[in-house]
Each structure stands twice: as structure tokens, then as C-alpha cells.
Amino acid sequence: MRQRTAIHLRLGDTPGTYAATIGDDPTEKEAVVYYTDYENCVVTSVEFSDQFCALWTRRQVKDAVPQNCIDYFVDICDSPVPEHSRDLCVDGEGDY
């Protein structure tokens, strides 16, 4: 079972970057935005347990992620997209 971890973000010092604090650790990690379609998804990488590559989507498309978002994630992160799982993405009230 996966553990939930809060991620807090602020704009980075250069375009296409942001700073993230993860969990209770106040140390800022540099993160990079590699792709966004400015509507449904963002492919990003943050320094967390080595390097963490993520595909973030709007809640409205989490059950039908646009193919272009998946394609960019696979190409950029060199990783398959895991199937949607209620263990990873809780549905219902409070679903963020």
C-alpha cells in the first residue's frame, strides 16, 4: 500500500522550474516541468528518493488521460504509465 505524502510547490527561480518540499522535510528540491499541454496534464521531475518523474492530470481527466499526455510521459520518463488504481488515486470526496 502506498503512503500519502504532501507536496508543497512554489514557482522556481527560472522558467520551467519550481521548488518542492515533500512531507515534513523543509528542504526544497528543484523540480523541472518537461511538458504541459496547459489544459490537462504536466510531465515533471523532482529530486525525491533519487529522481521522481510524474504525470499530473486534472481530476476531470484522471480516468481518461489524453493520449498525448501518456505519450510524452513515456518518452520523457522512459517508463510505462501505471494503470489507474484506487490505491494510488482515491476516488470520491477529498480526491485531489
pLDDT in tens, 21-72: 988 889 998 889 999 999 999 999 887 666 678 888 998 998 888 999 999 9
Domain definitions of the chain by residue range: 7-77
Q: Collect all residues with Cβ–Cβ distance below 8 Å to 79 and sequence separation of at least 6.
A: 53, 73
Q: Is residue 7 very low, low, confident or very high in pLDDT (cuts 50, 70, 90)?
A: confident
pTM over 0.85: no
Distance CA 40, CA 44 (A): 13
Question: CA separation (Å) from 1 to 5, 51, 54, 63, 64?
Answer: 13, 21, 18, 20, 23
| 29-34 long-range contacts, CB within 8 A, separation 24+ | 34/72, 34/76
